[in-house]
Amino acid sequence: MLGVNDVADLVRSVGFRCRECGACCRRVAEDSNLVLVSPAEVRAIMAATDMAWDEVAEPYPDFIDDGSGGEYTLAWCIRRTADACIFLRDGRCSVYAHRPWICRTYPFMLVDDDLQVSECPGLGTPLLPGDAHDAAADLCRRQAAEAAEEAALDAVYRNAAVPPGKRVVIDSEGMKVLDG
């Protein structure tokens, strides 16, 4: 696994500065603004906003048939309107201090030792070493958080039994049966 300094070098070689255009929060193509969130991230936003779980998050849209009449999906996403994240207000993130890792580290993502880069108008702008280090530290923290989340989800998934005819979300906290 790469260290923070290695990641900082990679980030600097790409270059980036957020232009605050909000494009990553808007739906510019099918599911372009799908932001996966962990249960802990949902709860942090709930605590900050006094919103209910279902107001903050929606199930990841791809459901899997479990073979006995039930369906499950394995993630939550930030709830969206027809064209944007519900927390985008007047072009700004209204939960900025509590935004999920995906938003915090966009347009970068670490996959093993590979820095993956998503489309963004801010790419290519030179970064100061300190800013690159901060971005790299966040990317490493995100990678560790996602690994812990994946391990916890795997433990739940191995013991999950979807009730017949129900749609559920299986996450690291357990199984949540959806209404309707």
Binding site for ligand SF4 (CB under 6 A): 25, 33, 35, 78, 85, 87-88, 93, 95, 99, 103
The DSSP element (H or E) to which 139 belongs, if any, is helix 129-158
What is the phi/psi pair of residue 169, to 5°?
-110, 125
Q: Which is nearer to ligand SF4, 35 or 162 (CB)?
A: 35
Q: Which is nearer to ligand SF4, 103 or 162 (CB)?
A: 103
Closest CB 112 distance from ligand SF4, rounded Å? 24
SS3 content of the chain, % helix, strand, coil (to 5): 35, 20, 40
Q: Which is nearer to ligand SF4, 10 or 78 (CB)?
A: 78
SS3 64: strand
Closest CB 17 distance from ligand SF4, rounded Å? 16
Closest CB 114 distance from ligand SF4, rounded Å? 23
Whole-angstrom distance, CA of residue 32 vs CA of residue 43: 24
